[in-house]
């Protein structure tokens, strides 16, 4: 299957699988297709220029064996990894060899991702909530149907959060208009689910293809908003993560945990 593999490319600071102050980052296993067209995503621009490689079961196993000494976490991302017909096979290879599997999905296809959870093939899920309402999710996901980009996503989050062996990180991408009220709304939506980690990604514009009208929030202002939120809602302490800018994607020390 076609993957773009980037060793140690995602800083991990928001799950029970991370210990110590400087853990190895997660290896990115990026699939080459997606079913969304999100307004804040670079995929549609850089996907044609990336060098995706074809992996058989044998060559993928060799890759995992080579990368395991550098870090145990393998982040299956994209694009949308649930579209990958070999996802079950490759998750199984990582698990069999003793690695940790992180499935980073948009949550739109619960019929594909939840069986993987039940089979014990996924240790940690990441799901991006495209909006704080169905209308916002439709717009931000590129006009996808409400059932796909909202109902299915919340259903996936709820099922994963209720599972005894899985955790889920729910991400919301914020822009310069992000306010304390927005964070309160995000927390309110997720408060009905146990074991959920809340992650705020500050919008990272593509320099070559900027999205008109969108710009990042001042990182210092974001820290103030999130700190105040945790102070007012202590049940979220240790479960809120901020990725304030591009450096925090790869550098553990730049990710802020509250």
Q: What is the mean pLDDT of residues 30-55?
A: 78
What domain range includes position 159? Answer: 2-257
Q: Based on the structure, what is the number of domains in the chain? A: 1
Q: Per-residue pLDDT tens for 79-138?
A: 899 999 999 999 999 999 999 999 999 999 999 999 999 999 999 999 999 999 999 999
The angle subtended at Cα 141 by Cα 137 and Cα 143, nearest 5°, is: 90
Q: Tokens 């980073």 identify what position?
A: 104
Residue 47 has pLDDT above 70, yes or no: no
pLDDT digits (tens, 9 = 90+) for 142-154: 899 999 999 999 9
Q: Which helix or strand (DSSP H or E) is residue 54 part of?
A: strand 53-54
**Per-residue model confidence (pLDDT) at position 44:** 62
The two structure tokens encoding residue 166 = 């899985």
We report the CATH number of the domain holding residue 157 as 3.20.20.70
Q: What average pLDDT is seen over the chain?
A: 89
Q: Which position has the higher pLDDT, 208 or 107? A: 107
- Helix/strand/coil for 117: helix
Residue 84: predicted pLDDT: 96
Q: What is the DSSP annotation of 128-168?
A: E---SSHHHHHHHTTS--HIIIIIHHHHHHHHHHTSTT-EE
How far apart, in whole angstroms, are the C-alpha atoms of residue 129 and residue 127?
6
Helix (H, G, I), strand (E, B) or coil at 196: strand
Q: What is the pLDDT of residue 253?
A: 84
Enumerate the β-bridge partners of residue 150. Answer: none
Could you tell me the pLDDT band of residue 251, with boundaries at 50, 70 and 90? confident
Q: What's residue 178's pLDDT? A: 93
pTM of the model: 0.93
| pLDDT at residue 18 greater than cutoff 70 | no
pLDDT per residue as tens digits for the range 213-250:
789 999 999 999 999 999 999 999 988 999 999 888 88
Structure tokens at 106: 């948009």
**Which pLDDT band holds residue 50 (cuts at 50, 70, 90)?**
low
The partner residues of 243 in beta bridges, in order of sequence, read 201
Residue 188 makes CB contacts below 8 A (sequence gap 6+) with none
């Amino acid at each position: 299957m076609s993957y773009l593999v980037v060793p140690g490319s995602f800083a991990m600071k928001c799950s029970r699988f991370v210990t110590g102050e400087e853990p190895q980052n997660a290896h990115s296993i990026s699939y080459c297709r997606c079913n969304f067209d999100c307004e804040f995503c670079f995929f549609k621009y850089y996907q044609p220029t990336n060098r995706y490689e074809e992996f058989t079961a044998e060559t993928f196993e060799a890759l995992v064996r080579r990368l395991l000494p550098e870090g145990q976490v393998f982040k299956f991302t994209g694009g949308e990894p649930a579209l990958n017909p070999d996802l079950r096979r490759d998750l199984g290879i990582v698990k069999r060899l003793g690695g940790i599997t992180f499935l980073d999905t948009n949550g739109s296809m619960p019929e594909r991702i939840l069986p993987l959870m039940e089979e014990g093939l996924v240790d940690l899920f990441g799901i991006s909530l495209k909006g704080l309402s169905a209308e916002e999710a439709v717009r931000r996901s590129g006009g996808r149907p409400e059932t796909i980009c909202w109902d299915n996503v919340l259903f996936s989050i709820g099922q994963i959060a209720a599972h005894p062996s899985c955790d889920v990180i729910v991400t919301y991408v914020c822009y310069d208009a992000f306010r304390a009220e927005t964070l309160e709304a995000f927390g309110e939506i997720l408060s009905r689910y146990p074991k959920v980690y809340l992650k705020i990604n500050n919008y990272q514009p593509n320099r070559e293809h900027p999205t008109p009208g969108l710009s990042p929030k001042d990182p210092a202002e974001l820290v103030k908003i999130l700190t105040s939120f945790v102070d007012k809602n202590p049940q979220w302490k240790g479960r809120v993560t901020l990725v304030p800018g591009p450096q925090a994607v790869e550098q553990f020390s730049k990710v802020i945990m509250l």
